[in-house]
């Protein structure tokens, strides 16, 4: 298996696992704004995709202190950071 390369790392800020289903676009965007305190189009990574594409998600999460890492595997990143702390990972 070829190791996957990381593209960014950050700290998990907030998770919204109870996304309402079968709601109108504006209602979901309003609920998103209420939960995260930010406009959908300003912060959603795939905001340029269709509403149906984004509404199919079962959860959303916010990441703070996001920074780009280039061409590192998880193992390399852990070695670089000392590797002694357990990590929580969300991958997509």
For the full predicted model, state whether its pTM sits above 0.85: no
Per-residue pLDDT at 88 exceeds 70: no
Average pLDDT, integer, range 68-81: 77
Look at residue 48 in the predicted model and tell me its pLDDT. 84
Distance CA 31, CA 60 (A): 12
Look at residue 33 in the predicted model and tell me its pLDDT. 93
**pLDDT tens digit sequence for 33-71:** 999 999 988 888 788 888 888 888 888 888 888 888 878
- DSSP 8-state assignment for residue 32: H
């Amino acid at each position: 298996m070829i190791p996957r390369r990381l593209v960014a790392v950050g700290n998990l800020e907030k998770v919204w696992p109870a996304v309402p289903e079968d709601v109108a676009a504006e209602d979901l965007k309003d609920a998103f704004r209420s939960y995260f305190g930010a406009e959908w189009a300003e912060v959603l990574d795939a905001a340029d995709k269709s509403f149906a594409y984004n509404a199919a998600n079962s959860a959303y999460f916010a990441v703070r202190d996001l920074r780009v890492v280039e061409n590192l595997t998880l193992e390399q990143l852990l070695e670089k950071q000392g590797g002694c702390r357990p990590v929580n990972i969300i991958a997509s």
